[in-house]
Structure 1
Amino acid sequence: MESFLAFSLKELPFVVITLIVAFTLHEFAHAYVAYKFGDNTAKDQGRLTLNPVQHLDPIGTILILIAGFGWARPVPVNRRNFQNPRLAGVLVSLAGPLSNFLVAAIAYGVLFFAVGSGLPPFLIDLLNMMVWLNIVLFVFNLLPLPPLDGYRIVEDLVPARTRIKMTQYEQYGTLIFLIIAITPLYQYTIQPIFSVALPSIIQGFNMIFATLFG
């Protein structure tokens, strides 16, 4: 059974708990910021909630356990309800990845302050998984490829004429993204980004906490 999973059976409980928290907060953050900027779409559809059931996608969750790649249910956003669609659009898109970054920072902080305190091993494993997977989600979602948040941010930053052209080719971009993400091309495209970004962010956390509290 373990051979069919992207994670070991020992890691699996920590992965499941981390994904439930990470996906739920990610989508809630999108919904909350959209609501604050005047779009009630997500709220009206019951997505302005911390109930994981409303945010988890069964297929996307299973795939991330099996293939290491998956997704949650995207929060619906109607940009026409924003007074400043570009600014609001960027902030709504950023909210999800930033929620993952914040969770990773908090988990790292708990580990930093808990050194030598005798935390149970299972809690240390869970916190380490919280740090690692949330950083992965933070970086992954900022990639400028559809349908990720990074692509939506680019859409709102470029001129309207460019945005229209991007929309025309978006369907092909999603296909390209899937090919890159689930084929051996991953190790030559996305994997190098993680090889640099993940240790750099963790090192950054360590420097900040060590400087402020060391």
Structure 2
Amino acid sequence: MASVPVRPGDRRVSPVFLGIAAVAAVAGWAAWTGFGDVPGLAVFVFVTAAWIVSLCLHEYAHARTALHAGDPTVGAKGYLTLNPLTYTHPLLSIVLPVVFVALGGIGLPGGAVSIERGRIRGRLRHSLVSAAGPLTNVLFAVVCTAPFWLDALDGVPPAFRSALAFLALLQVTAAILNFLPVPGLDGYGVVEPWLPPGVRRQAEPFARYGLLLAVALLLWVPVANGVFFDVVHAVLRGLGVDESASSCGFALYRFWEDGGLCAVTG
């Protein structure tokens, strides 16, 4: 198989990503300082932009791991630039996850980098490529919750604190959802190399529907929704974030409803 060189420009961080990160930083400052008459609007922009940043990092982790595992084509495809516009389906990878955040507070996985698995040798490498994305969400959640588990919340404004708690919830939901061993999700990609060929062939047709099925269960089956969020909030409590903080963040995020009081009372 012909080698594909990775050029220096293939690794240059995209201005698109830097612009999204800058929007997150400015909105975070606005949420911290209470700038503007609608604090929920600042929280909405901050969480949305930061969530898109995390989606870009998620896909970058897949691509970067694939590069070191043996697939140099990820560079030519633009995946190492963190530019979400290079993904296979920008609409499904960016717009749809943001819509699901607004609708149900669920961190919907993106999933849009095309990796040439035939270039990668070894089952462990294939598993690591799949695991790299959700592990990024885990790391993001740990960073977001650092003020909570470090007991360093003194002086942190209530609106910003709630925004961090909700952003952490999104990262935890994305990590757990991604790690489910369902065809089409990263969790299945982790275990797939270790499954018998017959099982892999039988599961392959379901890969395109796995994500939709998992999300449908979470949104419209109360029992599944309850169990899922019980696990999510148990993880968040372990990171020092109680349910009231993330719920307040979600209320603020949906600023078009009635999240204003939450910003005042914290």
Return the TM-score normalized by structure 2: 0.63
Query: Which one-letter code corresponds to 2:160 in the other structure?
Result: L
- TM-superposed deviation, 1:113: 3.4
Take 1:98 and 1:116, find their aligned partners in 2: how far apart are those partners? 26
Correspondence for 2:138: 101
SS in 2 for 1:100: helix
Q: 1:38 aligned to 2:76?
A: no
Counterpart-to-counterpart distance in 1, 2:49 and 2:41: 13
CA distance in 2, matches of 1:180, 1:27: 20
Structure 2: how far apart are the matches of 1:138 and 1:22? 11
| Preserved contact between residue 77 and residue 86 of structure 2 (Cα < 8 Å) | no
Tell me the equivalent position of 2:185.
148
Q: Which residue of 1 aligns with 2:223?
A: 188
| Residues 1:101 and 1:179: Cα distance change in structure 2 (over 3 Å) | closer
**For 2:118, which of 54, 61, 80 is the aligned residue?**
80
Q: Does the 8 A contact of 2:48 with 2:98 survive in 1?
A: no
1:145-189 Cα deviation digits (max 9, x unpaired):
23211122232221223212222x325xx4465245236643233
Alignment pair present for 1:60 and 2:119: no
Gaps of 5+ in 1: 1-7, 208-214
> AA paired with 2:99?
L
Bigger Cα displacement from structure 2, 98-107 vs 59-68: 59-68
Seen in structure 2, the aligned counterparts of structure 1 residues 203 and 116 have a Cα distance that, compared at 3 Å, is: closer
AA at the equivalent of 2:96: G
Deviation of residue 89 (structure 1)? 1.3
Work out the CA distance in 2 between the residues paired with 1:93 and 1:81: 15
- Cα separation, partners in 2 of 1:127 and 1:63, compared to 1, 3 Å: closer
Q: Which has the higher contact order (CA 8 A, sep 6+)?
A: 2
On the 8 A contact 1:14/1:129 being kept in 2, the answer is: no
1:22 to 54, 62, 74: 54
Task: Confirm or deny that 1:200 pairs with 2:234.
Answer: yes
**1:26 and 1:50, CA in 2 relative to 1: closer, same or farther beyond 3 A?**
same
Question: Deviation at 1:39?
Answer: 0.7
**Once the two structures are superposed, what CA deviation does each residue of 1:43-100 show, in whole Å capped at 9, x if it has no partner?**
220011233444582342453245446553511111111121x211111111111100
Q: TM-score, normalised by structure 1?
A: 0.76
Distance 2:98 2:142 in 1: 26
Distance change (3 Å), C-alpha of 1:66 and 1:106: closer
Q: Say whether residues 1:12 and 2:44 are aligned partners.
A: yes
Q: Partners in 2 of 1:193 and 1:153 — Cα distance? A: 23
SS in 2 for 1:192: helix
| Partner residue of 1:50 out of 65, 76, 82 | 82
C-alpha distance in 1 between matches for 2:128 and 2:153: 39
Give the conservation status (yes or no) of the 8 Å contact 1:179–1:185: no
Amino acid at match of 2:184: P
Aligned match for 1:161, one of 195, 198, 204: 198
Pair member with larger Rg:
2
CA change 1:155–1:78 in 2 (3 A) is same
Identity %: 29
For structure 2, the residue ranges without an aligned partner over 5 or more in a row are: 1-39, 242-266
1:128 CA drift (Å): 1.2
Task: Identify if the C-alpha distance between structure 1 residues 115 and 17 changes in structure 2 by more than 3 Å, giving closer, same or farther.
Answer: same
Q: What number of residue pairs does the alignment pair up?
A: 195
8 Å CA contact 2:43–2:159 kept in 1: the answer is no
